[in-house]
Amino acid sequence: MLNFRHVKYFVATANLGQVSRAARELSISQSAITSAIKELEAEIGGRLFVRTAQGMELTDTGRRFLAASHRIMASVEEALHPADTAEEVAGSLTIGASYTVLGYFLPQHLERLERRYPNLRIHIHELTREMIEDNLITGRLDMAVVLTSNISNPELTTETLIGSQRRLWVPAGHRLLDLDSVGLQDVAEHPYIMLTVDEAAHWTTRYWSASPFRPNVRLRTSSIEAVRSTVANGQGVTILSDMVYRPWSLEGRRIETIIMRERVPAMDVGLAWRQGVELTPAMRLFRTHFSDVYQTPQSRMPR
């Protein structure tokens, strides 16, 4: 029977990408996690992960179940903290967020926080990474929800919540779907759609530069929906994260994903605040909400 332990172990493995890392984070054996995942797959009737050289990759079923699991974790967290206690929390928070985070990660959390803590006022500002860093350091922002993989300022502390795997996006019926294994060499033979928002182009160039191949860039755009539609209509392919993936374009055309043969770095999402600052009760609450939902925060000071 499905229980909370199954969900907790699955979320940790999905967020960290490796059974060994999840076991260390939860202070349990790897075999306990492996058994729980097998039991969960048997209950669901489908595979949740594919083992690769890089670790555990979510299947389409796994991605859908991960979204549901985060809702389960949030509901459990709410149940463990009575409403009368929540109503005592008051104050205000000024939060910065980048375009991608604000569009594809933060809204569901803001809704839960607003419902649970009606006396907590959260002010959100969409800013670039550079502006977020500057506003955190100068105290104009209390905290930020950011792509932590983009943060390198030594004056900030970051806490990564999830690593969103990057995969190849192709239109339905694309010939790359017929290959047993797809690498950057194969992708280089097709027109490439380059996303530029939130330094996506920088990260794309970075992992391509580690190979002898280069993308055949057909279009550069800051619009995720433009990328989605262009790929779905057969005008090119791209490599983007699961967080922004949707299986259908606005025109109702299907987009498929492929796990890359090479290691493509995940897009890390998490929190940031000024190093050494004393967290207010509202800031601690905000941080605790996310750590309870995602279970495996990883704090670090950027180098």
Judge whether 4 and 70 are in contact, CB under 8 Å.
no
Domains of the chain, CATH where assigned:
4-80 (1.10.10.10), 85-163+268-294 (3.40.190.10), 166-265 (3.40.190.10)
Q: What was the pLDDT predicted at 301?
A: 45
Distance CA 96, CA 7 (A): 30
Q: What was the pLDDT predicted at 88?
A: 67
Nearest 10 degrees: CA dihedral of 52, 9, 71, 65?
40
pTM score of the predicted model? 0.78
Q: What is the pLDDT of residues 177-208, one digit of tens each?
A: 999 899 999 999 999 999 999 999 999 999 99
Which portions of the chain are predicted below pLDDT 70?
54, 78, 81-88, 295-303
